[in-house]
């Protein structure tokens, strides 16, 4: 059954937006969650992921790229393999003048209901169907003439217009039993939901994904989801990747290990320290969103706190190592280890997770190379660390050498900073990682 693609509401007050572009072409297979199109809302252009899977179909009357579209407007359909486009799909119901009655057809397919079934919608549906009804021709042609004998007053069949309808009684019982009748497929004429359908739904054992098993949406998960969604809503994330030669960094860590220090700094600690130092030379990156997204504030280097992403059983947490520039590597390592432990124990305070200028996220332990980390808003960038790999590299004199390498993924908020400064910053970070001793000695 064809799934509709509609314009989402990106903020509380959004009523319309601009369809910026399609990220898939008609005929493309779209997976659930895959970016489908870009929509410009009040605050930003946003990539909209697909809610469903299927083959993208854009009807002829679909809104053109660049046009202003109302929230809820129909943009297109996702079809299952082999499925014909819905009939009447020329009706794209945002501007009323686009709504045209479709020609009466035999065996009208059942497109996904148009979501609404209010009296006005049903009235419209009836109007649209008026030409197709009374096919028997027994109705008097004089407008005021009453019906003939036999069955009278046939309700106009609304099914062709795709309205979801429920009898008044079904709606009453649904509300009594807490059943969402709109989700039911009715057994009445034209798919009308009847009382029996509602009662059947109410008496079914709690089935389907949403109701079987435990609810995995824990409050923590919910908060994470909200935060990430918020980031996605507020930022225009662009990810740059580069590969850093970390042979020296690996060697440095070996030396730390062989030393007598109680704590061996992890790659993340060293990268945090190095990155903070590089950041001093890139003030355009040393900023945060502020004032309800109405200001970008420079972060002074005395406040270079670095967030370290920590994976816990309860979900992702980002404790913040304070004032990285003033701290030794060992101090950073000790602090980050303590924070990670507190995170895993669920004892982090809110203050311990705030005010970072940038976050470092390391997925190298899972063998991941490049990825697109999500900015920890209101920060404007996040640095992703990949796995350290021994790789053949073409050396300075065209000989093949074995080097330790790591992919760096920097996601930055294009709304806050342009691509070139971000790229320069990333290149400097890569250089610092290639020659850590020099930077660590730097000041």
Q: Interface with other proteins includes 82 (CB under 8 A)? A: no
Q: How far apart are CA 381 and CA 235, in angstroms?
A: 10
Q: Interface with other proteins includes 184 (CB under 8 A)? A: no
Stretch that binds other proteins, among 12-20, 113-121, 140-148, 342-350 (CB under 8 A): 140-148
Query: How far apart, in Å, are the Cα atoms of 165 and each of 87, 114, 155, 187, 194?
Result: 19, 11, 12, 11, 9
Residues in the interface with other proteins (CB under 8 A) total 23
Q: How many CA atoms are closer than 13 Å to the CA of 379, on its beta-carbon side?
A: 28
Binds other proteins (CB under 8 A): choice among 81, 82, 118, 146? 146
Tokens of residue 67, six digits: 């046009």
Q: How far apart are CA 305 and CA 289, in angstroms?
A: 15
Q: Would you put residue 208 in left (φ > 0), alpha (ψ -120 to 50) or beta?
A: left
Minimum CB distance to other proteins smaller for 144 or for 441: 144
Shortest distance (Å) from residue 162 CB to other proteins: 19
Q: Interface with other proteins includes 188 (CB under 8 A)? A: yes
Tokens of residue 230, six digits: 């918020």
Q: Interface with other proteins includes 129 (CB under 8 A)? A: no
Shortest distance (Å) from residue 202 CB to other proteins: 15
Q: How far apart are CA 211 and CA 213, in angstroms?
A: 7
Q: Is 150 exposed, middle or buried (0-12, 13-18, 19+ CB in 10 A)?
A: exposed
Stretch that binds other proteins, among 70-78, 164-172, 243-251, 311-319 (CB under 8 A): 164-172
Q: How far apart are CA 442 and CA 138, in angstroms?
A: 96
Q: Interface with other proteins includes 195 (CB under 8 A)? A: yes
Stretch that binds other proteins, among 51-59, 108-116, 147-155, 392-400 (CB under 8 A): 147-155
Binds other proteins (CB under 8 A): choice among 100, 123, 127, 169? 169
Binds other proteins (CB under 8 A): choice among 152, 212, 258, 294? 152
Shortest distance (Å) from residue 144 CB to other proteins: 9
> What are the b/e assignments for 184-211, b being 16+ CB within 10 Å?
bebebebbbbbbebbeebeeeeeeeeee
Minimum CB distance to other proteins smaller for 118 or for 367: 118
Q: Interface with other proteins includes 153 (CB under 8 A)? A: yes
Binds other proteins (CB under 8 A): choice among 145, 208, 351, 400? 145
Shortest distance (Å) from residue 163 CB to other proteins: 15
Closest to 301 (Cα-Cα) out of 323, 284, 321, 285:
323
Minimum CB distance to other proteins smaller for 146 or for 292: 146
Shortest distance (Å) from residue 188 CB to other proteins: 5
Give the interface with other proteins as residue ranges (CB under 8 A): 140, 145-153, 155, 167-172, 188-189, 192, 194-196
């Amino acid at each position: 059954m064809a799934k509709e693609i509609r314009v989402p509401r990106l903020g509380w007050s959004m009523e319309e937006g601009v369809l910026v572009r399609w990220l898939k072409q008609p005929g493309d297979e779209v997976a659930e969650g895959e970016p489908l199109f870009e929509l410009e809302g009040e605050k930003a252009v946003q990539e909209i992921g697909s809610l469903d899977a299927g083959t993208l179909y854009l009807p002829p009357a679909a809104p053109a790229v660049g046009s202003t579209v109302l929230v809820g407007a129909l943009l297109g359909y996702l079809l299952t393999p082999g499925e014909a486009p819905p009939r009447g799909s020329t009706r794209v119901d945002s501007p009323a003048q686009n709504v045209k009655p479709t020609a009466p057809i035999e065996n009208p397919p059942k497109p996904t209901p148009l979501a609404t079934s209010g009296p006005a919608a049903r009235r419209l549906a009836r109007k649209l169907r008026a030409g197709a009804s009374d096919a028997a021709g027994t109705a008097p042609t004089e407008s005021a003439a009453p019906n003939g004998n036999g069955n009278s007053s046939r309700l106009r069949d609304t099914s062709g217009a795709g309205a979801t309808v429920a009898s008044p009684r079904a709606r009453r019982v649904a509300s009594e039993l807490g059943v969402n009748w709109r989700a039911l497929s009715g057994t009445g004429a034209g798919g009308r939901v009847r009382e029996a359908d509602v009662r059947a739904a109410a008496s079914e054992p709690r089935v389907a994904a949403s109701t079987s098993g435990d609810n995995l949406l824990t409050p923590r998960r919910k908060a994470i989801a909200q935060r990430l969604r918020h980031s996605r809503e507020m930022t225009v994330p662009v990810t740059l990747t580069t590969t850093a030669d970390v042979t020296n960094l690996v060697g440095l860590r070996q030396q730390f290990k062989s030393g007598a220090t109680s704590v061996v700094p992890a790659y993340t600690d060293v990268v945090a320290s190095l990155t903070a130092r590089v950041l001093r030379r890139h003030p355009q990156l040393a900023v945060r969103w502020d004032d309800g997204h109405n200001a970008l504030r420079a972060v002074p280097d005395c406040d270079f706190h670095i967030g370290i992403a920590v994976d816990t059983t309860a979900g992702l947490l980002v404790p913040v190592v304070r004032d990285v520039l003033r701290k030794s590597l060992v101090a950073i390592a000790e602090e980050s280890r303590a924070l990670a432990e507190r995170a895993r124990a669920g004892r982090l305070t809110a203050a311990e997770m705030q005010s970072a200028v940038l976050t470092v996220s390391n997925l190298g332990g899972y063998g991941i190379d490049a990825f697109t980390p999500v900015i920890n808003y209101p920060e404007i960038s996040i640095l992703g660390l990949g796995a350290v790999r021994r790789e053949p590299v073409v050396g300075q004199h065209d000989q093949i050498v074995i080097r330790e390498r790591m992919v760096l993924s920097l996601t930055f908020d294009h709304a806050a900073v342009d691509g070139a400064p971000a790229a320069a910053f990333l290149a400097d970070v890569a250089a610092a990682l290639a020659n850590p001793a020099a930077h660590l000695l730097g000041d």
